[in-house]
Amino acid sequence: MMTKDASASDAMAADAMGPVHQVLRDVWGYDSFRPLQEVSIRSVLDRRDSLTVLPTGGGKSLCFQSPALCMDGMAVVVSPLISLMKDQVDALRACGVDAAFINSSLTQAEKRTVADQIRAGKTKLLYVAPERLLSNRMLEFLHQTPISFFAIDEAHCISNWGHDFRPEYRGLRILKEQFPAAAVHAYTATASQPVRDDIVSQLGLQQAEVLVGDFDRPNLTYRMLRANGRLQQVVDVIERHRGESGIVYCISRKEVERTAAALNQLGTVALPYHAGMSDEDRKQSQDAFIKETCDVIVATVAFGMGIDKSNVRFVVHAGMPKSIEHYQQESGRAGRDGLESECVLIYSGGDVVTWKKIMQGDSQSSGSGALQSLEAINQLCGSPVCRHKALVEYFGQSYTHENCGACDFCLDEIELVDDPITLSQKILSCVLRVQERFGATHVAKILVGSTEQRIVQLGHDKLSTHGLLIDDGLNAVRMWIDQLVQQSYLQRTGEYQILSLSESGRRLLHRDGDPRLSVPGKAKRTRNRTVSVDSWDGVDRGLFEALRSKRSAIASQNNVPAYIVFGDATLRELARVRPATLEAFGKIKGVGDRKLADFGEAFLELIRSYCESHNLETNVKTPLAPTTTVAPPRAVLPNANSMAAFDNFRRGESIEEVAEKLGRAVSTVVGYLQDYLRQEKITDSSPWVDEQTRDRILGNLQLIEEGRIKPMFEFFEGKISYEAIRIVLTCHQNSETPAAS
């Protein structure tokens, strides 16, 4: 009996999901939901209150948009920002969905038109702000309208435990009282357990199903760098993503203005965004970013919640955020389309001081909880640990992968000191020698042998630990002290942040512990990803760029963001499959019926023309699910100095000319040239090595022993230089390695 009942229940559930799957295919052009999306949608169809926590990029909007199209009545979506409402409604309308919003950006005539459409039963989703929804006039209006359900987007705003608390969200509890027949569903990207409990309580959800997705974002590569020429570090990231969209977060408005101005001087189209700008200026910056007339937005945390842009390829924090919750939300704005993206956090000890000063003037963020959150992100920044594992476990989930393959630690980019226990003992001993009465800077100065007046007056130049780390430098010692604090071997207390040993620190003095201390300023260059994400496999880059240009033109013509036309994942698939017919075009993921009708012919014409002129095959057969294939190792990225020389090589300048211009040794510039050759996949070495020398090198490849070129150099008795051998071998390797498309 139980088996039959279960089977009948499963069959009914499958029947209920059938129309939703059809809507997903016809409207959005996708074949299946992700597992948690499907469970969340069932809650909506069952009219059962729910809370769904899906990290940014997890597709939480589909959890309420798709069932809304399959249910009688109109779904009401609560959204906190005008820009977010507009973007979501624009995206829905582009897919042929009858959606609308009501907010202060509409004229009275436009509001009347929306009301008339709702009365006529033509609107399936209505977006409103919480304060407008709770007005008596709006509540009266909605009582006259069949409501399918209420969806509370950005639901963490209701909780004062959350990182974006908004008092106006508290009034939403009235929905359960005013509309007892309508279920209420809450959605957010970031919520710890206390926040989840608070959301359910504050909204008055009844027997709510609480669904929490995987907090891991495997398509994101995390890097956390100690500040060392912060602007240059920001530029390095931008250079790796030239021509792609990115966000640079700064702590203060002044830093936003300075950074944006500097980036523009360096040739990057960047615009500022912060709360001190006028509404109109902020809107212009945001519109330029959304419509891709600027590549980079430089912003404070005032920017982001209202951004639904799917193809942000990098997020840089040019300063530590004030909590892991903020970092998860802000870094999560990269790669919402599921494609590989980079998140770099550049931090220093001074960032903690800056945030504490800001918190002192902010009554909402000055409590012990805020300080604990600040300490948690500070500890994460300086600890050499897997970033994916640390983030996932912070939110209460387990992480089973031994190596994420997508962070600076797991990519082996962090150089660790050889004997961290002995080094730690020296630092801990110094803290004890000053009787645990001084801060980090003073202790560091003793260790590097400073003889400044205060140290001499206190007699600290006579300590046995004075000058123990004189060869390492003050910055390195300060970094190690911070890392020992972050790993709980040292602790800071009081207004002056006095250092003292913890219990684990005292055990470490007896070599009982496992500290991890990084080598300052050094990073290995291994950057091979092992995560499964949509890759560039089989994608024609030239066609992809042509499709991007076509997308931008259509978006500009329709006055909508470019990603609303098609996302980057769809463009990559088009450039991979190269469909030649409307039928084939309609099978591409992300192409629904409305978009096929609106944009299909325009893109097909471009694809046909490009393939004809480049003699390319169309309707290419590809694996059914490219997103589940393992991406090939990511190419080693050249450093900033190498990239600075690329333009010189492109202009045909010789190695000697580049060396003179850059003030570098010839051997160093040859290294830059090798990076350039690898990056550009160049197979012809003739601009740098004559044909006869090249042939002699290639004719004696058997002399290369396990990658060592010294045997070949000795065979030629020094008549062919190491530099020439390296250049020819690099070009030869490029010719043997299939070009990554």
* CATH number of the CATH domain containing 483: 1.10.10.10
Would you say 736 and 680 are in contact if contact means Cβ atoms under 8 Å apart?
A: no
Interval 467-502: pLDDT, tens: 999 888 887 898 899 889 878 899 988 877 899 999
Matching residue, tokens 């390195």 = 476
Ordered DSSP codes for 299-366: E-TTSSTT---S-EEEEEESS--S-HHHHHHHHTTS-TTSB-EEEEEEE-HHHHHHHHHHHHT-GGG-
Q: Which of 184, 212, 240 is the last residue of a domain?
A: 212
Q: Are residues 364 and 271 in the same domain?
A: yes
User: CA-to-CA distance for 277 and 303, rounded, in angstroms?
Assistant: 12
User: CA-to-CA distance for 155 and 175, rounded, in angstroms?
Assistant: 14
Q: Are residues 25 and 77 in the same domain?
A: yes
Spatial CB neighbours of 185, under 8 Å, sequence gap ≥ 6: 40, 43, 44, 49, 50, 51, 52, 63, 64, 149, 150, 151, 152
List the structure tokens of 538: 């089989």
In a domain, residue 228? The reply is yes
- Burial pattern 106-135, b for ≥16 Cβ within 10 A else e, equals eeeeeeeeeeeebeeeebbbbbbbbeebbe
- Burial pattern 613-630, b for ≥16 Cβ within 10 A else e, equals eeeeebeeeeeeebbeee
Q: Are residues 378 and 324 in the same domain?
A: yes
Q: Are strands 209-212 and 74-78 parallel, antiparallel or unpaired?
A: unpaired
Phi-psi region of 207 (alpha: psi -120 to 50; beta: other; left: phi over 0): left
List the structure tokens of 739: 């070009």
Q: Are residues 85 and 180 in the same domain?
A: yes
Q: Are residues 233 and 374 in the same domain?
A: yes
Q: Are residues 448 and 316 in the same domain?
A: no
Q: Are residues 110 and 138 in the same domain?
A: yes
In a domain, residue 6? The reply is no
The runs of H, that is alpha helices, within 452-592 are 453-457, 474-486, 503-508, 541-558, 562-565, 568-577, 582-585
Q: Which of 488, 523, 558 is the last residue of a domain?
A: 523
Residue among 313, 285, 291, 241 nearest 564 (CA):
291
Domain total for the chain? 5
Q: Are residues 398 and 250 in the same domain?
A: yes
Matching residue, tokens 């800056």 = 354
Residue 474's Cβ-side half-sphere holds a number of Cα atoms within 13 Å equal to 8
In a domain, residue 696? The reply is yes
In a domain, residue 519? The reply is yes
Residue among 118, 185, 176 nearest 151 (CA):
185
Residue among 216, 230, 207, 63 nearest 149 (CA):
63
Q: Which of 367, 395, 413 is the last residue of a domain?
A: 413
Handedness of CA 186, 191, 196, 198 (dihedral sign): negative
In a domain, residue 132? The reply is yes
In a domain, residue 585? The reply is yes
In a domain, residue 2? The reply is no
Q: Are residues 608 and 665 in the same domain?
A: no
Q: Are residues 86 and 208 in the same domain?
A: yes
- Residue 594's CATH number: 1.10.150.80
Q: Are residues 676 and 588 in the same domain?
A: no
pLDDT given at position 76: 97
Q: Are residues 186 and 225 in the same domain?
A: no
- What residues in the chain have per-residue pLDDT under 50? 1-13, 163, 526, 528, 530-534, 623-640, 740-741
User: What backbone torsions phi and psi does residue 494 show, to the nearest 5 degrees?
Assistant: 75, 175
User: What backbone torsions phi and psi does residue 230 show, to the nearest 5 degrees?
Assistant: -55, -45
- Classified as helix, coil or strand, 188 is strand
Would you say 107 and 101 are in contact if contact means Cβ atoms under 8 Å apart?
A: no
Residue 88 belongs to domain spanning: 14-212
For the chain, the 3-state helix, strand and coil shares in percent, each to the nearest 5, are: 50, 10, 40
In a domain, residue 9? The reply is no
Q: Are strands 414-416 and 74-78 parallel, antiparallel or unpaired?
A: unpaired
Spatial CB neighbours of 732, under 8 Å, sequence gap ≥ 6: 683, 698, 701
User: CA-to-CA distance for 147 and 141, rounded, in angstroms?
Assistant: 11
Q: What are the Cα distances from residue 412, in Å, to 408, 430, 460? A: 6, 31, 38
User: CA-to-CA distance for 155 and 191, rounded, in angstroms?
Assistant: 9
